Structure 1
Amino acid sequence: MIKNSTESEITLESLEKKLVIDFGHRSRVWLVEHRHNFYALKEVPKAGLCEAEVRHLFEEKLALSSLKHPNIIKLITTFKDHTNIYFLLELAKGAPLSHILKQQRRFPLEQVQSIALQIASTLSYIHTEGYIYRDLKLSNVLLDDTGKVVFVDLGLCKKIENEK
């Protein structure tokens, strides 16, 4: 993975945890700071991980490392220690579509079209790259103030083997 000079200096110990910004089924996501830059740190406890969960983590890392698209969260690097596995991700701006829909209830037609086009374009890219995205739901898609969509959870993304 190519990293810029700031990112290549990041270690797990150099990250300052600020607060928990999200919870997953087996993980939590921290807002972290490194040299005045903010990131999201997904923390997954190793204890109790079953074989399928380990496989999903591996597949998520593979997908995040391979898929480079403006509407997919960027993986900076990964870490592990004796208790956890960590994914350091760009800090995506915005809120999940599920939260926005609860507050706003309705979107203007033009905004719906823009969101749908971005989601379809991102799914098309994912499929073109040989992956299947198996967890499309409003809580896994962020929308920022500019109307940009970002897919933030690729935990169930799976590489499709070529059939011969």
Structure 2
Amino acid sequence: MPLKLISSFISLFLRRGEDLVEQKESPAPITFSPTITIQGLWSKKDDLSDITTVKSSAESERWIAHQEQLLQIQNQAPLFDPNPTTDINDYELIETLVLKKSEIVKLKQVEHINSERQVLSQINFPFIVQLYCTFQNQMNLYMVQEYVIGGELFRHLRKAGRFTGDTARFYAAEIVLALEYLHSKDIIYRDLKPENILLDSRGYIKIADFGFAKKVQDRTWTLCGTPEYLAPEIIQSKGHSKSVDWWSLGILIFEMMAGHPPFYDDNHFGTYERILGGKVQYPGYFENAAKDLLKKLLVIDITRRLGNLKGGADDIKRHKWFRTTDWHGLLNKTVRAPIIPAHSNEYDTSNFEKYSEETSNEQPQGDPFRELFPDF
């Protein structure tokens, strides 16, 4: 692949899709779509705080000049411009989420953005996307993260129609380990779904989009998530904790093996009614062990929900559906993944949809929102 700036990437980590909700009264969908641009960057592998860029065109050079100005403001290291003698193996592709501050404020997503930054800065796990650094200027917030080449699990699932039990088990096991890690730090994820799970070059997962994640030691009452994946206690505003992630795991396992979530309805309120009804129709091809696990995860009574019992995540890991899972091998990435994303090299972007880059001539007066994002 020629050395070039990827100026139109994918709206990936901060897509608050059409069906995400965040309210404290009756659940209803809202749309969160601030001006988002994903930019390709090159960075030294041994110092990812030294954000670097490759020039290739007048457009990218203008972008570089703008980025350099931002970095100077933030007292970051100067940009590095690889020349023909530079060994590209010393660099890797990373990506930046660019979020328009005025839109974040308008859509009342300040708390979510700050929470995402706070949570990601505290975690480091093989199956979770890594945040390298954040900064801001008068107009935007910038979140620099690792580039995960394989695209969304959602895309691979739609291509396959549905996964075999073995394939679903592989991804479910990785998710169990990731949730176990997050819960050990008192972090609830709250937005598990195929769109938020990425695959790396070897086919292992990276959980992304932590806008709804929250550090909670007891319970929280905020209504947020994706309708088809909401746990009953969220819909009923009873207060919720880590148990909601195990409910979502059950929904995801079902969707991976069936090709659709168990409580889907054309109307969001119809979906909520089905969730509260708790009746699941299992396809005939589901193996008995899988159905047994799902029946223990998709339990309305949280005191009986697997993962939320005394044994915690270990109860799930010991379930008979996971009897063939090599947990240590999985964590050490010595188990071969069922899907190896096709890519021509480590800078390939073909596994992502292409989104038009949004531009704005807006020139804000001063920086009225800086204090709302103190950690950026």
With normalisation by structure 2, the TM-score equals 0.37
Q: Structure 1 counterpart of 2:7, which letter?
A: K
Give 1:46's aligned residue: 101
Of residues 71, 75, 87, the one that matches 2:131 is 75
Q: Structure 2 counterpart of 1:124, which letter?
A: E
Of residues 15, 21, 29, the one that matches 2:38 is 29
Of residues 129, 149, 152, the one that matches 2:185 is 129
Task: Give RMSD over aligned pairs.
Answer: 2.0
Say which structure is richer in strand.
Answer: 1
Do structure 1's residue 113 and structure 2's residue 102 form an aligned pair? Answer: no
Q: Structure 1 counterpart of 2:93, which letter?
A: F
Contact 1:111 / 1:147 at 8 angstroms: preserved in 2? no
Do structure 1's residue 150 and structure 2's residue 206 form an aligned pair? Answer: yes
Q: Structure 1 counterpart of 2:40, which letter?
A: L
Q: Look up the SS of the partner of 2:148 in the other structure.
A: coil
Q: Give the number of equivalent residue pairs.
A: 148
Q: Structure 2 counterpart of 1:31, which letter?
A: G
Q: Comparing 123-132 with 102-111, which one deviates more in the overlay?
A: 102-111
Structure 2 unaligned regions, length at least 5: 16-32, 43-51, 54-90, 220-376
Deviation for aligned residue 1:143: 2.2
Q: Look up the SS of the partner of 1:48 in the other structure.
A: helix
Deviation for aligned residue 1:68: 0.7
**Inter-partner Cα distance in structure 2 for 1:60 and 1:40:** 16
Give 1:5's aligned residue: none
Question: Where do residues 58-73 of structure 1 align in structure 2 (5 Å cutoff)?
Answer: 58-73=114-129
Q: Comparing 91-100 with 42-51, which one deviates more in the overlay?
A: 42-51
Q: Look up the SS of the partner of 2:103 in the other structure.
A: coil
Contact 1:42 / 1:87 at 8 angstroms: preserved in 2? yes
**Inter-partner Cα distance in structure 1 for 2:186 and 2:126:** 18
Of residues 180, 196, 206, the one that matches 1:140 is 196
Q: Percent identity?
A: 27
Deviation for aligned residue 1:29: 2.4
Do structure 1's residue 99 and structure 2's residue 155 form an aligned pair? Answer: yes
Contact 1:21 / 1:31 at 8 angstroms: preserved in 2? no
Structure 1 unaligned regions, length at least 5: 1-15
Q: Structure 1 counterpart of 2:213, which letter?
A: C
Q: Comparing 136-145 with 84-93, which one deviates more in the overlay?
A: 136-145
Q: Look up the SS of the partner of 1:49 in the other structure.
A: helix
**Inter-partner Cα distance in structure 1 for 2:40 and 2:11:** 9
Q: Look up the SS of the partner of 2:102 in the other structure.
A: coil
Q: Look up the SS of the partner of 2:191 in the other structure.
A: coil
